[in-house]
Each structure stands twice: as structure tokens, then as C-alpha cells.
Structure 1
Amino acid sequence: MFHITKEFHFSASHQLTHLADDHQCARLHGHNYIVTVELAAPALNNDGFVRDYHELKPLKDYIDNSFDHRHLNDILDGHSTAENMAYHFYEWCAARWPETAAVTVSETPKTTATYRP
């Protein structure tokens, strides 16, 4: 299989209100998120690509217009964990690009959550 990845960055706030009051994530806070989409194919297309990176621009536009500098609880119905966001972006990407293999969301340089069916 051939695999490619592309990163998209955005900043946003969220709050995990279902956690105990003394949990740091229960407080309003923000992250500089990195969303990495992975596409895979058993063979390359006629141009020698899994998919041209330029074709992934709709994901950049979606993130920029709907997630960047927003409060994620308002967008994701309060389910703004990295795991839920990875699933959300996977579903969005897979509906557009059948080669979508996984999506990873990073909240910090040390933490990531990946959805891979």
C-alpha cells in the first residue's frame, strides 16, 4: 500500500464539562490543534499519486471556516475530545476521498488520538 499524509492546523477552545470540576480539562481552555489525514491506495493513479495533495484543500477550507478560532463545544455538540474530533474529520474526509485511511488529531506535541476503521 502507498500512504500519504497531510497536516492542517487550527486553534480553538473547548471544555469537557462532563468531567469532575477539579479536572483541568473541565475548565475552559484551548489548544493549537494539528489534524493529520492519511490516505492509502494499493496502486498509484496515472499521475503517480495516491491523490494530489492539492485536492485536499477542501479540508483546509472546512477547518479554517468552521473550526479555527471557534469554541468546539458549539460545533461538536459538547463532544470535543480529540478522539471524537478524529472520528468527525475521518467521516468528513471519507465521504469525499475513498482513499481516506485514518485521521489523527493532536492537541499538544505529546498527545494524539487517531481514528482508523
Structure 2
Amino acid sequence: MPGVFEVYVKTHFSAAHSLLGYPGDCARIHGHNWIIEVYVQCKELNAIGIAIDFRDIKTAVKEVLSRMDHSNLNELPAFQHVNPTSENIARYLYKELSRVLNDETVRVSRVKVCETPGAGAFYWED
């Protein structure tokens, strides 16, 4: 059975959101320092033993998060029709980063989004 390598980067961004239809405080606008982890898999390493350069992942993540950082997530086009929950943010990041990073050798395997250090969501596709 061939092995699989999985590398990740961890970063953060700050943004506000509100959850429409939520029966509690989160229905009001509030903010989080979101913690993001992006995992990328590959089955083979390049000639110098690297799956994908961490710098390439960080650059892609930074570009996507720059559209979200210090914003009201509810106002962004990606969240016009869905609540900007940790789950929906994870799915959004997964899809955006997959478009940029996936190729014949590597693929985004999952994304983790935490709104607090102890609570978050993963998103991946089989």
C-alpha cells in the first residue's frame, strides 16, 4: 500500500458575522479571530523531498483570506445566500484553495476553521 503525505499550514484572520435565524446572541453581529488550518496531500515528493512548498500554500491562503480579513462576512458574495458559519467558511476555503493548489500531484485534503480555540469545523470531499 503506497503512503500518503499530508502537510498543513495554520494561520488566522479577523472578521465579523451574524447568523441569520439563529435563536440567540449569535444572531447579532459579532467578531472572531478565526483560526484556519489547510491540509494538502500528495503521494510523491519532488526531487528535494518536498510534497508542496509551504510558501505556496501560505501564499494561496493569504490571497483568499485577504478578501475576508477585517470584513463583515455576511456582506461578501460567497455568503449572500448562506450563513457564514464555521462549516460554510471551511467549505468556501476548501473550494477556493482547491482551484488554486490542486494539480496532478497535490490536492487540498481538508480545511479546519475554528471560531474559538476549542470549537471549529472541518470540510473535505471524498
The alignment's TM-score, normalised by the length of structure 1, stands at: 0.91
Please tell me the residue identity of whatever aligns with 2:43.
Answer: P
Q: Which residues in structure 2 correspond to 1:67-86 (within 5 Å)?
A: 67-75=68-76, 76-77=79-80, 78-86=82-90
2:115 is the counterpart of 1:111? no
Aligned to 1:55: 56
Q: Which residues in structure 2 correspond to 1:14-33 (within 5 Å)?
A: 14-20=17-23, 23-33=24-34
5+ residue gaps, structure 1, are none
SS in 1 for 2:100: coil
Is the 2:64–2:93 Cα contact (8 Å) retained in structure 1? no
Instruction: Give the Cα separation in 1 of the matches to 2:48 and 2:94.
Output: 25
5+ residue gaps, structure 2, are none
Instruction: Give the Cα separation in 2 of the matches to 1:47 and 1:95.
Output: 25
CA RMSD in angstroms, aligned pairs only: 1.2
Cα-to-partner distance string for 1:82-108 (whole Å, 9 max, x where unaligned): 000000000011111222100110100
Instruction: Give the Cα separation in 1 of the matches to 2:113 and 2:27.
Output: 19
Please tell me the residue identity of whatever aligns with 2:22.
Answer: L
CA drift of 1:46 comes to 2.0
Instruction: Give the Cα separation in 2 of the matches to 1:35 and 1:29.
Output: 18
Indicate the percent of aligned positions where both proteins have the same amino acid.
32
**Count of residue pairs the alignment pairs up:** 114
CA drift of 1:16 comes to 0.2
The alignment's TM-score, normalised by the length of structure 2, stands at: 0.85
Instruction: Give the Cα separation in 2 of the matches to 1:116 and 1:4.
Output: 15
Aligned to 1:90: 94
Q: Which residues in structure 2 correspond to 1:7-46 (within 5 Å)?
A: 7-20=10-23, 23-46=24-47
